Amino acid sequence: MDERHLWLALRTIPHVGNVTIRRLIDHFGTPAHIFSARLLDLMQVDGLSLKSAQAIAAFKPGPDLKIKIAELDAMGVSLVGLTDPDYPANLRRISDPPAVLYVRGELGPGTERAVAIVGTREATNYGLKVAHEVARDLALNGLTVVSGMAKGIDSAAHQGALAGQGRTIAVFGTGIDVIYPPENKLLFQNILRHGAAVTEFPPGTQPEGRNFPIRNRIISGLSLGVVVVEAAPTGGALITARQALEQGREVFAIPGSVHSFKSAGTNDLIRQGAKLVERAQDILDELPYLKTQTPTRAIAAESGPETALQLDGLEKVIVDALGPDEVHIDNLIRQLNIPSPELLSILSRLEIEGLVGQLPGKRFYRK
């Protein structure tokens, strides 16, 4: 039987979680050896209940497993188990790594040279710009940028990495087939062309609040360091920072205004000892073994983003019409006399390329 079937079966055994699976693998080596073990041998594994041991010993592969594997194949999803050579080495080293990852796209060898960028969903213009710039410059230096594809800072981080023509990994708190938020569908598709999306939740898992703190340990676990751009005193970004510390990762924080509630969490992290950073170079200086001898590509800003990406005439008109201050879509439509569907389509493309940012309420600005 294909090892993917065995990983999938192991993950569905009642009361067998990631920690217990790690113990089973440490004891038996492979899923095949686990399912061929005698009940007496299974009972030697710490944390494995009698019922779970009996379920493993009595396991017989059925047609439902083949159906699930066929469904994953149809979606272009790879199933990567803990012992698979493609399983990210950084993640394998944490205390409770996911037993199985559902992956779309390519993890690739650069996954080990990764830095996470996280922050609030309700980001300010300042936070979005900084997240984009830091991610872009990390990508230009050959690093993979990891984030959660949420609104706000996460999306800006992915877009920055793509603008730097680098790799980025999105960690889902949903099933791999559930794009959340839905408006990030185009961003998701671009991430798949330049990196990967991963999750430990089975297909069909909908966005539930309890799942996102669980997935945050994967964001930090994939990375050698976590950068918090903007965060309120409580929230997911600070959970990720705490998990990073528990995993022995570096924690960086970008300072914000003392008058901004959305920077209160990051400023507090700095008071607690997180490394203050203002630009990507500050991170590279703290992690010198990550820095390439020379940047993999010239910084786009040196020649101007419009030149680097060779905008067509209408795209350049739209970029020129935007400034650092946000402009509502209705004002752009009146100013440029471009039909709304066409304008939104072009703005979405420019957003993916990292030239345009979007704030809640269909407000756009030039990056």
pLDDT tens-digit series, residues 199-221: 999 999 999 999 999 999 999 99
201 Cβ partners below 8 Å, 6+ apart? 102, 172, 173, 174, 175, 176, 211, 215
Given the candidates 1.10.150.20, 3.40.190.80, 3.30.1330.10, 1.10.10.10, the CATH classification of the domain at 3-74 is 1.10.150.20
Query: Could you tell me the two tokens for 19?
Result: 């920690």
Q: Judging by DSSP bridges, how do beta strands 356-359 and 363-366 pair with one another?
A: antiparallel
Give per-residue burial for 24-39: e unless 16+ CB within 10 Å, then b: bbebbebbeebbebee
Please name which of 67, 84, 138 lies closest in space to residue 280, comparing C-alpha atoms.
138
Phi, psi values for residue 228, rounded to 5° = -100, 120
For residue 262, give the DSSP letter. G
Return d(Cα 191, Cα 162) in angstroms, integer. 8
Sign of the alpha-carbon dihedral angle for 323, 324, 325, 327:
positive
Structure confidence by residue, pLDDT tens digits, 81-135: 999 989 999 999 998 999 999 999 999 877 889 999 999 999 999 999 999 999 9
DSSP code of 289? G
Note whether 14 and 43 are within 8 A (CB). no
Which of helix, strand or coil describes residue 275?
strand
What average pLDDT does the chain have?
88
Which tokens go with 64? 């439902």
Structure tokens that stand for 243 in this block: 């998990």
Band (pLDDT 50/70/90 cuts) for residue 246 is: very high
Helix (H, G, I), strand (E, B) or coil at 135: helix
pLDDT band for position 295 (cuts 50, 70, 90): very low
Q: Give the predicted TM-score (pTM) of the model.
A: 0.79
DSSP code for 272: T
Mean pLDDT of 260-269: 90
What angle in degrees, to the nearest 10, is found between the helix axes of 185-193 and 340-352?
40
- Least confident range of 17-31, 136-150, 190-204, 344-358: 344-358
**Spatial contact of 325 and 163, defined as CB atoms under 8 Å apart:** no
**What distance in Å separates the CA atoms of residue 297 and residue 208, rounded to the nearest whole number?**
39
Q: For 304-366, CATH number? A: 1.10.10.10
Domain parsing of the chain, residue ranges = 3-74, 109-290, 304-366
What is the CATH code of the structural domain delimited by 109-290?
3.40.50.450
